[in-house]
Structure 1
Amino acid sequence: MRRIVVILLSCSLLFYEGCTTSYYKKSADKETYAVIREKGATIPNMDRHFTIEDTNIFSLELPVSTNVDETLGSDAESEREARILSLDAALEVAVHSSRVYQRTKEQLYLQALSLTLARHEYDPIFFGKGSAAYSVETEEAVAVIVDPITHLPTTAVSDNLVEQKRVAGNGSTGFDWLLKTGGRLSAAITTDFLRYLSGSPQTFTSSQVAANFVQPLWRGAGYTVAIENLTDSERNLLYAIRDFSRYRRTFSVQIATAYYGVLQNRDTVRNSYLGYQSFKKSAERTRALATEGRTKQAELARLEQQELSNQSTWISAIRTYKQALDSFKIQLGLSTDLNVILDDKELEDLKILHPDISSEEALKVALTTRLDLYNVRDKVEDSERRVKLAANGLKPQVDLVANAGLDSKPNTSGFFPAPEPNRYHWTAGLNVDLPLERKAERNVYRAALIDVRVAQGNLEQTTDEIKLEVRDGLRSLDQAKRNYEINEIAVKLGERRVEEQTLLSELGRGTAEATVSAQNDLVAAKNALTAALVGHTIARLQFWNNLGILYIKDNGQFEEVNRAID
């Protein structure tokens, strides 16, 4: 007994020392990342250095702002010494720090992790276990007496209770193997040990080597049926990697959209401030004219009211900008306390780059490259495969069953008596389950037929939706380009009107209403021009994304297709 306990404890301690939590984590990561690399090698634009480790970097060498922008008023000083974040830097920070992006990566990792288990289920799974117990029970004493008649020894049960003490143990090791033919093979070596400690000490041991094999011959038979769980896991990971690859594009476009949105809000602040300053000058000029009696007080009051209104608009624009900047920090995964501003040069460098591609060419590219469409197409194949699997479930169950083993000599001494070749046993036969009750299987089969139609419908709908996205993307680009051209003219006209009204006011011939209208229209035209430029840029990025050809680097930065013209 003591030897059994010592051996079991020693094995447990050695196994525990070799398999700490750190070991299991490293083992899971190594296998999971290998699976992702294996599947991702064929997927365009997949992150070749995929990891879910928290790299949360903000060690980028960013320039520091030394200027104070007066258009921000009292908030300008808070941006002194702020780090200037370019679009490329923002994208790099986002892929390392964004909580949403990290969660998406973790979902992909978990999908790959489940595949490692699905694959492992078709490997021989080894086991080793054992137990040991010490037991005590009381029983009637048995004595040997001499029969007074025959004078021969005989046994007799007395009323006295005696303690019976014993130790028992058993151990087994073997494997269980799910075969890709649908069969299952298991084998084990077992040993049993029993020793009585009270009375006349006795020891009994036995051992056995046994194997068991079950192979379906009809229902559940065949490679395709047997590995369905593995096939499903393999394809689910492929779908997840495709989705992640497409998500990388969408995520970068989202970050760029938010980035330019913040810059657009900053430009609105600037335009509102300049409009407010223009009204202040107009009010001061009109106030001087009113003092000389060259204009009416009503004209002055109108300008002063508009000055206050523009001041309120300017203050509101500052608040909107600061709110957008803080929201963008959260989107990047940064603290709102971090003093960061965006690079105005990114907005200054924007220009209209209109894709030089026809609708027919764009549709052809999208239907060839869109990874989500590949997933929907493959799911049609999945549904058709499951119809065959469901049909297999309607068949009779006929299994070949066999087992064999070798036994040791019973009640022998020693720790592990070896099984003897001449002490064998084996059986072979068939287990049959006639399909007298298959209602559940019938329902699965009928549902599988419906799923085929649903999958085909999803394919048709997804194809139409992609075509709609591409065509609508081209229309949006054309609209944004025309809006930009219109607002370019509007800004020039607005500037001319303001100059004219300023000159008329200096001559005492202008009206407050005309001045207010000209200056408000100029501010609105400048805001609209920036909105059109940003809108066209975002629409262009989204268009390339809809075509599935927006290339994303490992640091999240995108690379546009060169086929574009000014």
Structure 2
Amino acid sequence: MGTSGNRESRLTGSNSSGQAGIARKFKNGLEFSSAISVNLVKMLTGDRASFWGVLGDASISVPLLRGAGEFIVQEPLRQAERNLLYAVREFEQYKKDFAYNIVQSYLNTLQAAQRVRNQAENYKRVVASTRRSRRMANAGRLPEYQFDQAVQDELRARDSWISACQSNANSLDSFKILVGLPTDAQIVLQEQELANLALDLQALTTGKPPVDYSGEIPPADAEVILLEPDDSNAGKYEIQDVKAIALAFQQRLDLQTLADRVADAQRKVLIAEDALRAELTLGGSAAVGQRRSYSNTRQNNAEFNTRAGSYSGLLTLDLPWERTRERNVYRESLLDLEAAVRSLQSKEDEIKLDIRRNLRMLRQYRETLIIQSQAVTLAERRVKSTDTLLQAGRAEIRDLLEAQGALLSAQNSLTGAVVSYRLQEFDLQRNLGVLTVSAEGQLQELNLQEYK
């Protein structure tokens, strides 16, 4: 509603209008916009009831130098698509890391539970030895100080058992939190998994033992030759480092992202260089029709007549006299490119280091498996023989306690070697980029036999 007039006359009416338009930017940089508007003026006073107006306009702008071309114009869209790809890769890498952390926590929890069982068995053995020493001391077959030694060892065994139980409980609670369960949730671990894992790795311990005195023994003053680890029983993931690094360069998502970021930085250099050019723009506009208002009530309704339209063309030129800001952006883009290249090279060196370390650790833990397997066998035999000699009065209680301690240490070390070797296999696959997680959350490993 509005009014218009002077002292002689006053006009009263309402003005309604509507407008529709479109704007689009094309791949070559051409910008086009068009709009059409219609308004209706309804008079409440005066000699006319209503009249309407229509106005259409369009404009076009075509860059000819700076900012022209598909490469420049599509860069925002191209970069947005690549950022989406980077986010997907980052999430995929997060899934791999998270799954690996769960496996690591689970195996460490199984190891802690096995350590509790080892400590409990050792505690029982020490208690039995202490009882036997007490009876032997009462019968005069054992000095009292040796019984005291047995009691002290029993106290240490109890303390170690309690400490192992608490560590196992803490490890279990940490695992619950990691998988999203409350600490008071009741869960049962599949402890047989650790035994099955030890059986799977048993093939690595076959072959010639690292310490063998079953054959002819060389003189004590003979030269000692240190033998390198035997790789004849290498595991399925112990491949050549050259092939492993080449595979990682193909599969690592974070490395692919850094390589793509180098390409992004190169494009930004070219775009910043384009901004230093002169700007030449060809433009044009057209307007057809008229709007109506209270001031032109004496005119007829507007007509959409293209012959009576208004048309104009314009050619603008902006010479690159002042490009300080653009020059600074260009220099920054060059620095960003150098930083992206260094980040890529640093990641390549990091991948090489991680993979070579993984392969060395696999070799080390395989040797530890062999050594500790032999150590457990020897320790069990030593406990039996020492116990027999003690009952025959040909050994001291200290010998038996030391044998039992050696057996416990070998058992814990063997369990640790089994878990460490398996975790190194997972870690190697993660560093190679071949460890994947299915939609159901299951880890899927890759058979690397063809890369050996």
Shorter-chain TM-score range? 0.7 to 0.9
8 Å CA contact 2:93, 2:253 repeated in 1: yes
Q: Deviations over 1:238-273 (max 9, x none)?
A: 233333334433333222211111111110111111
8 Å CA contact 1:409, 1:420 repeated in 2: no
Q: 1:335: Cα distance to partner? A: 3.1
8 Å CA contact 2:386, 2:395 repeated in 1: yes
| Counterpart in the other structure of 2:158 | 311
| Distance in 1 between residues matched to 2:88 and 2:384, nearest whole Å | 59
| Distance in 2 between residues matched to 1:445 and 1:551, nearest whole Å | 40
| Counterpart in the other structure of 1:425 | 310
| Distance in 2 between residues matched to 1:141 and 1:403, nearest whole Å | 37
2:448 paired with 1:547: no
2:405 paired with 1:405: no
2:254 paired with 1:375: no
| Distance in 1 between residues matched to 2:247 and 2:26, nearest whole Å | 43
Q: Deviations over 1:467-514 (max 9, x none)?
A: 212211110100010111111111112212222332233334543433
Which residue identity is paired with 2:245? L
| Counterpart in the other structure of 1:365 | 247
In angstroms, what is the RMSD of aligned CA positions? 2.8
8 Å CA contact 1:205, 1:412 repeated in 2: no
Where in structure 2 are the equivalents of 1:127-526 lying within 5 Å?
134=1, 142-143=7-8, 166-195=13-42, 197=44, 203=50, 205-350=52-197, 351-352=200-201, 353-408=235-290, 410=292, 411=296, 419-526=304-411
| Distance in 2 between residues matched to 1:409 and 1:563, nearest whole Å | 77
| Distance in 2 between residues matched to 1:389 and 1:465, nearest whole Å | 31
8 Å CA contact 1:409, 1:419 repeated in 2: no
Segments ≥4 residues shifted beyond 6 Å: 198-202
8 Å CA contact 1:504, 1:510 repeated in 2: yes
Q: Deviations over 1:32-81 (max 9, x none)?
A: xxxxxxxxxxxxxxxxxxxxxxxxxxxxxxxxxxxxxxxxxxxxxxxxxx
8 Å CA contact 2:58, 2:285 repeated in 1: yes
| Distance in 2 between residues matched to 1:446 and 1:244, nearest whole Å | 33
8 Å CA contact 2:434, 2:446 repeated in 1: yes
Which residue identity is paired with 1:346? E
| Distance in 2 between residues matched to 1:280 and 1:202, nearest whole Å | 114
Q: Which structure 1 segments of 5+ residues have no match?
A: 1-133, 145-161
Q: 1:346: Cα distance to partner? A: 1.5
| Distance in 1 between residues matched to 2:5 and 2:310, nearest whole Å | 38
Q: 1:229: Cα distance to partner? A: 0.5
Report SS of the residue matched to 1:174.
strand
Q: 1:197: Cα distance to partner? A: 4.5
8 Å CA contact 1:286, 1:505 repeated in 2: no
- Cα 1:366–1:165 shift into 2, 3 Å: same
Q: 1:343: Cα distance to partner? A: 1.0
> What percentage of residue pairs aligned between the two structures are identical?
33
Report SS of the residue matched to 1:177.
strand
| Distance in 2 between residues matched to 1:354 and 1:408, nearest whole Å | 82
Which residue identity is paired with 1:221? A
| Distance in 2 between residues matched to 1:461 and 1:448, nearest whole Å | 20
Which residue identity is paired with 2:109? V
8 Å CA contact 2:285, 2:311 repeated in 1: yes
| Distance in 2 between residues matched to 1:519 and 1:324, nearest whole Å | 26
| Distance in 2 between residues matched to 1:562 and 1:143, nearest whole Å | 98
| Distance in 1 between residues matched to 2:47 and 2:146, nearest whole Å | 125
Q: 1:407: Cα distance to partner? A: 0.9
Alignment: residue pair count: 411
| Distance in 2 between residues matched to 1:267 and 1:432, nearest whole Å | 80
8 Å CA contact 2:236, 2:448 repeated in 1: no
| Distance in 2 between residues matched to 1:311 and 1:198, nearest whole Å | 107
Report SS of the residue matched to 2:313.
strand
TM-score normalized by the length of structure 2: 0.82
8 Å CA contact 2:32, 2:60 repeated in 1: yes
8 Å CA contact 1:498, 1:518 repeated in 2: yes
| Distance in 2 between residues matched to 1:214 and 1:441, nearest whole Å | 22
Q: 1:390: Cα distance to partner? A: 0.5
Q: 1:195: Cα distance to partner? A: 4.4
Which residue identity is paired with 2:337? V
Report SS of the residue matched to 1:342.
coil
| Distance in 2 between residues matched to 1:215 and 1:499, nearest whole Å | 95
Report SS of the residue matched to 2:372.
helix
Which shows bigger deviation, 467-476 or 239-248?
A: 239-248
| Distance in 2 between residues matched to 1:316 and 1:191, nearest whole Å | 86
| Distance in 1 between residues matched to 2:191 and 2:106, nearest whole Å | 11
Q: 1:447: Cα distance to partner? A: 1.5
2:419 paired with 1:531: no
| Distance in 2 between residues matched to 1:195 and 1:304, nearest whole Å | 111
8 Å CA contact 2:54, 2:290 repeated in 1: yes
- Cα 1:302–1:220 shift into 2, 3 Å: same
| Distance in 2 between residues matched to 1:303 and 1:165, nearest whole Å | 115
8 Å CA contact 1:354, 1:477 repeated in 2: no
Report SS of the residue matched to 1:303.
helix
Q: 1:235: Cα distance to partner? A: 1.6
Q: 1:342: Cα distance to partner? A: 1.9
Q: 1:196: Cα distance to partner? A: 5.4
Q: 1:359: Cα distance to partner? A: 2.1
| Distance in 1 between residues matched to 2:426 and 2:436, nearest whole Å | 11
Q: 1:304: Cα distance to partner? A: 1.9
Report SS of the residue matched to 2:181.
coil
| Distance in 1 between residues matched to 2:404 and 2:351, nearest whole Å | 44
Report SS of the residue matched to 1:187.
strand
Where in structure 2 are the equivalents of 1:30-69 lying within 5 Å?
none
- Cα 1:512–1:417 shift into 2, 3 Å: farther
